Chains A and B, each alone.
Chain A
Amino acid sequence: MVREKTNALATTRARSYKPMNDFHFQSISKRINLYGLMGIFMLLMVWELSARWIWQDIQVLPSPIQCLDMAWQVLTAQELVMHIAASLSRILIGFTFAAVIGVGLGIAVGWYQYLGLAFKPILELLRPIPPLAWIPMAIVWFGLGEPSKWFVIFLGSFFPIFTNAWRGMVGIPPVILRAAQTMDVKGFELLLKVAIPAALPDIATGLRVAFGLAFGILVAAELIASDSGLGYLIMQSRETSRLGVAIFGILLIGFLSMLADDILARLLKKFVSRGRY
């Protein structure tokens, strides 16, 4: 029988823009052009000169070169790699869990309406809680080690992934499902071969958004309660009054998250957007 409920829900959804096509939300490498690089270079120059000539206080605003110098003095390459690895591994573990469970649950809840009724209330109660607010609870339940970080990153990544997967399923144009039904596709085959492919763009969006959030959550968690990783590095540099290291760390995180988002976007584009729908 026709999924009449999908019909009703689909018509009340509003999709007035697709963020993936916005220039400002596209993958980073698409946005890097000559002018952009020029802009960055100009900014770096301004920073360098004003730091050296105007502020002249290495404790408050080290110039880019001074930052690098401080970082060089304090860190060994080994240490740096260790911190980066610690941070990245936390994100990967937390995010992967969130991706698997979030996509799975989102698809299930979107397809089987009654399942949705059972799960949604609890999820809707938990969702508005900001991910960082879970940090104290995570420490209570899991201690100060790795699992508490995985947990917080998982929670922060889960909701965007779940919501978008659910929405993707619910927003499938009914005519596509009907067309498949006229071709004798039903039940599980309908879900696997028609519904999920149709929902894939939304699922991909959810994954990308969640991944971006995950970085922010990770850093915060490391600032507050950790003894390794890039966030910890930044926090620690304050105590040793080496602001340059902090700035270095901040920029490094920013750069890494841009890189990671770009890789993810390319990967997703490869598997999802062949039809560019």
Chain B
Amino acid sequence: MKSVTNKIDLNNVYKKFITDPENMQPVLGDVSLQIEENEFVVLLGRSGCGKTTLLNIVAGLELATSGKVQVDGIDVTGPGRGKGMVFQQGALFPWLNAEQNIQFAARKQGLNVEQSKELSQKLLLLVGLAGAEKKYPFELSGGMQQRVAIARALALDPQILLMDEPFGALDELTRIEMQNELLRVWSLKQKTVVFVTHSIWEGLMLADRIIVLAPRPGRIVLEKKIDRQRPRKRSDPMLIELYEEIWTSLQ
């Protein structure tokens, strides 16, 4: 029987920046959240509502002032160790080409040179960039760079995939394309995903569960499960209803 430990467990997470004045509300007030394995969770909210901070805390890049943060039942004390992350932009190593960026991650996993080369080719094929192996980041478009970033994160064979507004810097059309690509990749490589965005539609298209956050103090104001097969349609009445609900909760 499968044990019911959550993949990601956040309990009463509280964070206040050291630089904040005394009387200012904390970035994260009292956030509790449990995420199951292979669940696709979207954190949604305006800029400054703490969603990125929360993501960083899960990643181990920042520490909570107090509260319990666990992945797979183990306390999170630092970055790495199975917590793959995709940033909004500019995180690819500019001195390495696409292939080498992915190989870098693969080598860190302990694969030798041939194995990592093989893996990088497979992943580039997976994200639809076969043929672009030798290109350097500056030669790739924004969308292509993000594909490489995703491939690189996957090369770590991570337990969880954390994504910080990964499509935020792309134009609308590329963004929609990338959302579909992400869903396709995710269906092939089941992972727990925590995805941060400020676009309500993006959340509705992608999430199993949407968590809406409000700022100062950062807290969850709405949590909704979305029980719809993907790919979803914008014309779906249930989604439109959800949109309205989320929109209201953000005011």
Contacts and interface: CB of A to CB of B under 8 A. Distances in A.
Do chains A and B directly touch (beta carbons under 8 Å) in the complex? yes
Contacts of A78: none
B212 to A, nearest CB: 26
Interface in A198-214: 198, 200
Interface in B81-114: 81, 83-85, 87, 89-97, 104-105, 108
A275 B62 contact: no
Interface string B26-54: 00000000000000000000000000000
A104 interface: no
Nearest to A273: B95
Interface in A178-216: 178-186, 193-194, 197-198, 200
Nearest to A189: B108
Nearest to B139: A276
A175 interface: yes
A107 B108 CA distance: 24
A186 B78 CA distance: 10
B217 interface: no
B111 to A, nearest CB: 13
B80 A182 contact: yes
A274 interface: yes
B93 A194 contact: yes
B61 interface: yes
Given A182-B84, A184-B81, A276-B136, A176 B91 contact: yes
B163 to A, nearest CB: 12
A173 interface: yes
Contact of B95 (A180, A183, A184, A274): A274
Interface in A33-90: none
A277 interface: yes
A2 B153 CA distance: 19
A23 B135 CA distance: 25
Interface in A143-181: 173, 175-176, 178-181
Interface residues of A, number: 23
Contacts of A181: 61, 78-80
Contacts of B156: 183-184
B138 to A, nearest CB: 6
B86 to A, nearest CB: 9
Residue picked from B90, B93, B95, most chain A C-beta under 10 Å = B95
A1 interface: yes
A179 B95 contact: no
Interface of B: 56, 59, 61-63, 78-81, 83-85, 87, 89-97, 104-105, 108, 136-138, 152-153, 156, 162
Task: Name the 10 nearest CB pairs between A and B, nearest first.
Answer: A184-B80, A277-B94, A179-B91, A181-B79, A182-B85, A275-B95, A275-B94, A275-B136, A197-B95, A175-B91
9 contacts: A1-B61, A2-B56, A173-B90, A182-B61, A274-B136, A275-B94, A275-B136, A275-B137, A275-B138
